[in-house]
Structure 1
């Protein structure tokens, strides 16, 4: 009888813990994956994360920060979820990875008026001043490939600032995915003045959901299983396709 009571108590406490535990979710403004619309954080990646948290049964807080701050929070606290984050060799042991949530293609962008900027191979871009976001994997990729001097004055806190630097001719290139156009439009710039200068085919194209290292492995496993179930059930695709209409 005592064993039955003890087992019941353990089950009850586990359920209570699941219902009262809270996940701190952090991200950046990164259209078309996630962005802030007035007071709400929305986008396909955000909706997948919300569906995932609902499925696992955890309450959560969700905040948008400059990427460097979101990244720091996810490295320094327990039970922190971060998205949409590129999985690189340098980051592999810094987080507990759940699974892919999106993919993207990354380019150097320039103003069309800069006919003199010609990039045939990656090293050609070392002639120019480049802007990238601090702690961003794309920026780190360039630093790892010898672009330290090119980025010396162009590492900033957000893509919005990179766009402003490009349009004001303070930098010559910026590194971003295909949806730079949407971000520039929201800032009020004439996007017809922009063009792709070079495709960074060597850069990882998958974006992930990850958890902080201090998060319990049992919780990581629950999120992995839940995301897999979202994908197998078709719910993941329904969320993504809703934004393609």
Structure 2
């Protein structure tokens, strides 16, 4: 009887340990306006919003990981307890994730190098004749592909994408103005060397925090409530308005 009780106790402890491990949340993102590495730490406005949300939801067992976007996206598609941002909320993605809340909304613009002659875009159809840089599995890639764009040049991350524009490997690059300014600063080039040729008003970025589909509903509900309170207090907007 003693052995039997001990075995049951061990199994119970193992079950509790596994359950605790399973509930650990991995926050995944890419190097961007919202998250970046500084002094061996992952920081940025998106990180602050994610951390405040999880702490206020009493979901304190989490880790932060910076990946190429395609890898972050795949993890969020296929693994449980993954929180991803900055994820554009699009109709195609609606049923693929459990959405926590919108942290930012901004329009993308098509940029060229200012000294690139002969590039003019008056409507989206005219942009199809030019080579355009996109990040793999990013909403902009999907958006342009769905509209018949065939001259897309795919990169692993925003920095590679931007470098291709500087090196004239692509003719146009879609990104919000604040991202364009940040990329210019990081690449040590003058922002005025870029020129906006068209605004993608048809597809504003609705940037969200979202959980992977296999994340338990009770975890998602806690995070949603905490995020709603954070946003209602004005803290989300205040954090996003701060400059890097």
Q: Same fold (TM over 0.5)?
A: yes
CA distance in 1, matches of 2:106, 2:37: 20
- Kept in 2: contact 1:28–1:70 (CA 8 A): yes
Per-residue deviation, residues 8-47 of structure 1 (Å, max 9, x unmatched)? xxxxxx9xx789931111001111x222223122222210
Match of 1:93 in 2: 95
User: Does the CA contact (< 8 Å) of 1:99 and 1:209 recur in 2?
Assistant: yes
What does 1:172-191 correspond to in 2, within 5 Å?
172-178=171-177, 179-191=179-191
Q: Are residue 35 (structure 1) and residue 36 (structure 2) matched?
A: yes
Q: 1:73 to 1:233 in 2, by over 3 A?
A: same
Could you give the per-residue CA deviations for residues 54-112 of structure 1, whole angstroms, max 9, x where no partner exists? 11122111011110000000011110000111001111111011110112220111011
1:5 maps to which residue? none
Matches of 2:86 and 2:70, distance apart in 1: 13
SS of the residue aligned with 2:160?
helix
Mapped partners of 1:240, 1:165: distance in 2: 28
SS of alignment partner, residue 170 of structure 1 = coil
* Paired position in structure 2 for 1:10: none
User: What residue in structure 1 maps to residue 240 of structure 2?
Assistant: 240
Unaligned runs of 5+ in 1: 1-13
Q: Report what 2:52 is aligned to.
A: 51
Shift of 1:217: 1.0
Number of residue-to-residue matches in the alignment: 226
Superposed CA deviations along residues 163-207 of structure 1, whole A, max 9, x for unmatched, are 111111111111111121211221223332111111001113310
CA distance in 1, matches of 2:170, 2:234: 43
Who is 1:167 aligned against? 166
CA contact (8 A) 2:28 2:84 kept: yes
**Deviations, residues 143-168 of structure 1 (Å, cap 9, x unaligned):** 11110x211xx111011111111111
Q: Which runs of 5+ in 2 are unaligned?
A: 1-15
TM-aligned CA deviation for residue 234 of structure 1: 3.7
Counterpart check, 1:219 vs 2:219: yes
1:232 CA drift (Å)? 2.5
* 1:112-159 deviation digits (Å, cap 9, x = unpaired): 112311100000011111111000001110011110x211xx111011
Q: Describe the SS at the equivalent of 1:204.
A: strand
Contact 2:79 2:212 in 1 (8 A): yes
Q: Could you say which residue in structure 1 is the equivalent of 2:134?
A: 132
Normalised to the residue count of structure 1, the TM-score between the two structures is 0.86
Conserved 8 A contact 1:80-1:212: yes
Matches within 5 A, 1:192-231: 192-231=192-231
